[in-house]
Structure 1
Amino acid sequence: MKICNCKTAIVWLLLTCLGPGLMASDRCIAAAEQPASEKAETQAKPIHITSQRLISDQSGNVAEFIGNVQAIQGDTTIQADSLKIFFSKKSDGEGASAAQSLDRLVATGNVEIKFDNRLAVARQAVYITAQRVLTLHGPGARVTSGENTIAGETITFYREDGRFTVEGGTNGRVSAVILPEESGLE
């Protein structure tokens, strides 16, 4: 395991582990609504990650940014106490490692994810790239868009089809504030 200077580590991480795919077309929820041309444009944008410390374990295929973490790509920002990135090596078909791909991101502690006009807040956020699923965990997990809010202990977004589920957890309650534009219950 290595403890690296953040400037060096960011360059290493971006070049060898992540490439243009960290949030790229997997832009926490919003990208599912983008046309293909916008998704490709987003993939080309650089990802900037800053933190107080980076621990890299190439043999374990993991890199962890620790302390006041901020990851930015385009108009998407993730802030957290810690951001752990898990990746896997892809073979070139002949047994040699050709590249590394991102498997999942785990943001922990005071997590805030800003994208489009939305803000997601949780104790922990897990994004699994292959399934394109973002799960927010912890009491008080919520997503706000304008004055609309959903909250629960676990919120799961299925980006492929735009679905989401909210679970109430220990208190068994889910809450939502929805401001309809023209018609309501009255």
Structure 2
Amino acid sequence: MKIFSFRHTTGVVLPILLCLVLLSPLPPRAAETANPEAKKIQISADRFISDTANNNAEFIGNVRAKQGETLINADSLKIFFSGGAEGGSASPAQSLQKLVATGNVEIKFDNRLAVARQAVYITAQRMLILTGPGARVTSGDNTVTGETITFYRDDGRFTVEGGSSGRVNAIILPEDSGLE
């Protein structure tokens, strides 16, 4: 059964792209998925460009995307998806490959704030890559800063690289006595 093909449908591109974002860079927690309001995506931008021939779409200018407790602000948000084979059964949401937010990126998720020049989310690996001088992730009073921060959503693991602009810096406030 064929559900949808981007290559052969042009009149419903915007609503379908909004469905694509249901697999946003930072999916809602399991408790939120039972609530239809938590699944709802709200995106606003100054401009929207759809390029179905090249399997991408972009929201440009003062982009704000919200789903549940997750909020993304950026200058641009570009969505890449696979074209799908003729007669394939993948839904548009299943064809989402990657999201790229650029310019003044701020992502609020899971009691964290991520700030970077660029953020790339690869859906298959559930991996968020923050890049740019001074990229940082803050959780409460704890902060880590570097030029490239890779966050693995499945296990909560971070990899931080200092890059050419400096070293990795971390501020950690332990709950107990720490190193003393």
TM exceeding 0.5: yes
- Between the aligned partners of 2:154 and 2:18, the Cα distance in structure 1 is 26
CA RMSD after TM alignment:
2.2
Contact 2:133 2:165 in 1 (8 A): no
Given the alignment of the two structures, is residue 169 of structure 1 paired with residue 160 of structure 2, yes or no?
Answer: no
- Alignment of structure 1 residues 110-125 onto 2, 5 Å: 110-125=104-119
Q: Percent identity?
A: 64
Question: Structure 1, residues 98-129: CA drift from partner, whole Å, max 9, x if none?
Answer: 43221000000000001132110000000000
> What TM-score does the superposition give when structure 2 sets the normalisation length?
0.82
Paired residue secondary structure (1:59): helix
Q: Amino acid of the residue matched to residue 41 of structure 1?
A: A
1:88 Cα deviation from its structure 2 partner: 1.3
- Which of 6, 11, 14 in structure 1 is aligned with 2:18? 14
Contact 2:111 2:140 in 1 (8 A): yes
Question: Structure 1, residues 120-166: CA drift from partner, whole Å, max 9, x if none?
Answer: 00000000000110000000000011110000000001112221100
- Which of 52, 60, 69 in structure 1 is aligned with 2:54? 60
- Which of 168, 177, 180 in structure 1 is aligned with 2:174? 180
Contact 1:89 1:97 in 2 (8 A): no
1:71 Cα deviation from its structure 2 partner: 0.5
1:67 Cα deviation from its structure 2 partner: 0.2
- Between the aligned partners of 1:177 and 1:156, the Cα distance in structure 2 is 18
Q: Cα–Cα, structure 1 residues 182 and 81, in superposed 2: closer, same or farther, change >3 Å?
A: same
Paired residue secondary structure (1:184): coil
> What TM-score does the superposition give when structure 1 sets the normalisation length?
0.80
- Which protein has the bigger strand share? 1
Can you give the 5+ residue segments of structure 1 that lack an aligned partner in the other structure?
1-7
Equivalent in the alignment of 2:133: 139
- Between the aligned partners of 2:165 and 2:21, the Cα distance in structure 1 is 41
Paired residue secondary structure (2:53): coil
Equivalent in the alignment of 1:96: 87
Question: Structure 1, residues 42-69: CA drift from partner, whole Å, max 9, x if none?
Answer: 7861111110000100111100000000
Equivalent in the alignment of 1:105: 99
- Between the aligned partners of 1:165 and 1:49, the Cα distance in structure 2 is 30
- Between the aligned partners of 1:85 and 1:70, the Cα distance in structure 2 is 14
Given the alignment of the two structures, is residue 41 of structure 1 paired with residue 34 of structure 2, yes or no?
Answer: yes
Count of residue pairs the alignment pairs up: 165
1:171 Cα deviation from its structure 2 partner: 3.6
Contact 1:10 1:49 in 2 (8 A): no
